[in-house]
Structure 1
Amino acid sequence: MNRTSGARWCATVAVSALSFALVTGCAESGSDDSKGSDSSSAAPAAPAEKALGAAELQKLIIAQGDVEGYEVKAPDAQLPASKSEVKVDKAECEPLAFAMSGLAPGESAADARNMATEKKSPTDAASKSMEDMAEGEFEDAFSDALSVDMTAVGLSSYDGDGTAATFKSVSDALADCAGGFTLTAKGTAQKVVKVAAEKGSGTGDESVAFSASVEMEGQEAPGTVHAEVVRHGGTLATYYTINMGALLTGEEYRIPATVVEAQAAKLK
């Protein structure tokens, strides 16, 4: 792949993946055994309680230094700033679309969010200048640069029984939206062709995890992204992970356990 074709590939990635899918890699350079299974646990519903405030959630969300091997910072313009920037053709699928946008899945009283991006050491090929690379080296280096797990982490709190109701809405949406839906984020439409339950992380009081298969321009097969919503008492933790390199190659990846565990530890 020469530099021109590499630039075209990068442009294709930027416009073909979810509009809210963290495509900063371009700017700067699976299957599960629990198919179709309901991954939410049978834990008691969250008790009605007063929601945590935004300042409290900001202290609880993972920050730089909390996750080894990851850079953690605010999402900047990589994600929709609010739910007004996310439109869904099926109302029942909104909780999934919001979770996939790094937003609170329900009408929260307060929320906080950060981005955890995997740190990777450059390969020998990537350390070379583009002019010195052989064609195969350029393609490998470009693919490797994109093969980074990026996870939007969100915390949201709800008054009264809002936590339990929101968690149920996410679980219900897995069945209601299994055949897919169309969402528009920041003005760009994206077709989700399938939603499937996945095995959850097992953290918190109960959790529901899912994968979403999305159409990608220029790619015959859809790409897969992963999300999970975990209840910790009256607070919901939301994780949305995408790996651009894996989307292009079809390799499997998951929500990084180390990110989930770090966030769970701060909510105990």
Structure 2
Amino acid sequence: MKVRTTVVAAGTLVLCLAAAGCGPDDGGGKGAGGKATASQTPAAGSGAESTAAAPGAGSAPAPMPTSHGRTLTEAELAKVVLTTDEVPGYAIAPLEGTDERGTEEPEDEACRPIAAIINGSPEPAPAATVFRTATDTAEEGKDDQTVVTEILTSHPKGGAEELLRSVRDAVRDCADGFRTTSEDGPSTYTEVRTLPAAEAGQESFAYQVTGSLAGARVPLVFHLVRTGSTVVTFYAADFLTARTPEVPAALVTAQAAKLP
């Protein structure tokens, strides 16, 4: 069976490690659950960079959206998260088992913001969090059905901006990869790089973290969007082809449009 995973297996938010054992050839995978999209973007290290352009590239920049900046409660986040039929072709559902988080601890402190998101616990800690999955209904029944994980977090004043800033810095500082340890053992990430990001919200930033599973490359893609004090993190991974997976721009822009 094909296993392209974007959803966090077994309900844990240690996106790759606890879900599928993306550690360095330690032979200890727990098995992946779900699937991810594989785009036509060349894989990192293939000698070609992504040519995917963000929507609106080359045109005049869209006006910056305004926001009341208030820190939303969990109930308020649940009201602004995407729902089924708001993005044609995608079914939205709660992510089960979200009480369990990852325990990845990076050897290099500069990489902590990246590890924190892999753990499903972005830093600084959010005031409220809501989890969803978006599934491509046109691929129903396929082994490689597209499933994207979506995490909405609200933050005290300044926290959302700090989150985006710290992740950007970590992506730059940890470009050559990093190692972590956790309750499940050590893990290796061989590369971190910025990706083109769809224009959305007040800030939009995408990056790839390349893990290792039994010696094979496992690209993990994250797309963060901030509006006011709310951050949306989209996650996709490809455990099958080693190509850079894709977070559909339609999901990103539709979700950003709902943020107050």
* Residue 226 of structure 1: aligned partner: 221
Of 188, 193, 196, which residue of structure 2 is paired with 1:191?
A: 188
Q: Secondary structure at the match of 2:252?
A: helix
Residue of structure 2 equivalent to 1:76: 96
Task: Write the distance in 1 (CA, Å) between the matches of 2:69 and 2:76.
Answer: 15
- Residues 190-246 of structure 1, C-alpha deviations (whole Å, 9 max, x = no match): 311100001111111112210111112153xx1211101111122111111123xxx
**Aligned in 2, Cα 1:80/1:86: closer, same or farther, shift over 3 Å?**
farther
Alignment of 1:91-240 (within 5 A): 91-119=109-137, 120-122=139-141, 145=143, 147-184=144-181, 187-217=184-214, 219=216, 222-240=217-235
Q: Does 1:62 align with 2:46?
A: no
Question: Which residue in the other structure is 2:13 paired with?
Answer: none
Q: Which residue of 2 aligns with 1:24?
A: 33
1:150–1:242: 8 Å Cα contact kept in structure 2?
A: no
> What is the aligned partner in structure 1 of residue 39 from structure 2?
none
Asked whether the 8 Å contact 2:101–2:120 carries over to 1, the reply is no
Judging by fraction of residues, say which structure has more helix.
1
- CA distance in structure 2 between the aligned counterparts of 1:154 and 1:186, rounded to whole angstroms: 23
Q: How big is each residue's C-alpha offset from its partner over 1:67-117, in whole Å with a ceiling of 9 and x where there is no partner? A: 33223222213x67236x333322322222233344434321222121122
Query: Percent identity between the aligned chains?
Result: 26
Alpha-carbon offset, residue 261 of structure 1:
2.2
Does the Cα contact within 8 Å between 1:19 and 1:188 map onto a contact in 2? no
Larger radius of gyration: 1
Distance 2:158 2:68 in 1: 5
Count residues in correspondence: 217
Checking the alignment, whether the CA contact within 8 Å between 1:62 and 1:72 is kept in structure 2 is yes
Residue 64 of structure 1 aligns with an amino acid whose one-letter code is T
2:173, 2:244 → 1: CA distance?
25
Q: What is the root-mean-square deviation in Å for CA atoms of aligned residues?
A: 3.3
| TM-score, normalised via structure 2 length | 0.70
SS of the aligned residue for 1:23 comes to coil
- In structure 1, runs of 5+ residues without a counterpart are 1-5, 35-40, 123-143
> In 2, distance between residues paired with 1:96 and 1:266?
26
Aligned 8 A contact 1:209 1:227 in 2: yes
Under a length normalisation based on structure 1, what TM-score does the superposition of the two structures give?
0.68
